Amino acid sequence: EEEAPPPPTPPEEKIETEEQTAARLARMLELVGGPAGEGEEDVVGVITTLEAEFAALNPPAAYLEAAQCLRSGGAVVGKMLSDLLQARVAMPDVVLRGYVLDGVPPGDFDIGVLTRAEAPLPPLSFIIEVRGSNEQALASLKRFRLDTESGLLYSGPDLTPGEHQPLVEATNPDDPEGPPPTEEDGTVKMVRWEPPAGFEEKLVQRACDQSNLARARIKAEWDGVVGSDEWKAIIAAALPHSMLVLDGTQTPDAMLTSLLGQLPFFRYPIVIPPERCFAADDEAGREAATVETALAAGSDERTGPFRLSPWGEWCPVALHSGGGVVQGKPALAARYAGRVFLLSSEERLEAFLSNPCPYVSRAPAPPTVRVMVLGPHASGKTAVAKHLSEKYGAKHVDMVG
């Protein structure tokens, strides 16, 4: 009697090596200090240029502190991260459009910073928890695979062809480098993305996603949040309707369907945050500024010049704040909602840029889309958070990475 053949040997799992990890981190650092491999003088020159450009943007003090910390090799954590978040959500695009926070950073981050925020920081409206077991999170983490060349992380559904894949331009199989095929109307043909041949074979598993390390991450990062005194205080102070729980065993699509039926938000029209007509460092433009040049500034990007606001040449911030009728200056003009507003001082211009709603009539009120989505690793919370931010036009803020 013939013996049964031995079972096939499973393929050896490829784990990200220390060299691959170092190379991936080096690519991330290239975004800050210039291409890897350049001489020290070149890198210093690049950093000096970036610092000058960064300073011209007049960033908040929290941004400068975080940048200096990163430059010195430190980590942005704790109060520094809380201050950074407060500075970001106070910016005009977030004040006008809202935000969706994706998770909570580990460590001593002040989780209650947005529940007790003072104006102009909009407080959280809803907290959404994706509830699942640690074993489910571990199983999902095991399916993550890393492309060491691009640094992109893929899960099982990411590598499965189907309608969930993004649309990409089709390629000509006979001439992959040539022009893409087109439809009958002349538009480029779009197809669902599919992993190229041999793509999965070059993927590796991150060392931090292996069972022993992943389990420790889940306990430290997730249990450390929901088990903290700060989190318990938030739960105790929250109104019952503002705490929503999703079943993490469902697919992201099913969770989204359930969630959208519970949220009272409606989609707001796109509102472009206000901006200066003349850049802060454009000394020549500001010195020669007139009402006509302020109205024409930026007209090359659209059809026709802007129109002057109903306030005419008077400063709306001075009128609103009790400063009386003060004539605005064309050098301190700002564009907003298709109109040009003339401000009378740099401080009033900054106040208008940070939040114009109190100073203009019939302006769209700030939305109530202020949501935090929580959940263990690989529970689908990021998919939920991204969908919410896209649907309502809010800013998606990845708090964990």
Q: Is residue 343's pLDDT more than 90? A: yes
Domains of the chain: 88-144+207-266+369-401 (3.40.50), 146-204 (no CATH), 275-359 (no CATH)
pLDDT in tens, 353-370: 887 877 775 444 455 678
Edge-to-edge strands of the sheet including 243-247?
243-247, 126-131, 370-374, 99-102, 395-398
pLDDT in tens, 192-211: 888 877 888 888 888 777 77
Question: In Å, what is the CA distance from 240 to each residue of 227, 308, 343, 384?
Answer: 19, 46, 44, 21
pTM: 0.51
Mean pLDDT of 173-197: 84
pLDDT in tens, 117-137: 665 556 677 888 888 777 887
Q: Which residue has the tokens 């800013």?
A: 395
Q: What integer pLDDT is reported at residue 342 of this predicted model?
A: 92
Q: Is residue 92's pLDDT more than 80? A: no
Mean pLDDT of 40-62: 55
Least confident of 186-195, 213-222, 344-353: 213-222
Average pLDDT, the chain: 75
Rounded to an integer, what distance in angstroms lies between the CA atom of residue 94 and that of residue 120?
A: 11
Q: What percent of the chain has pLDDT over 70?
A: 74
pLDDT in tens, 224-246: 677 777 777 777 777 667 788 88
Q: What integer pLDDT is reported at residue 36 of this predicted model?
A: 39
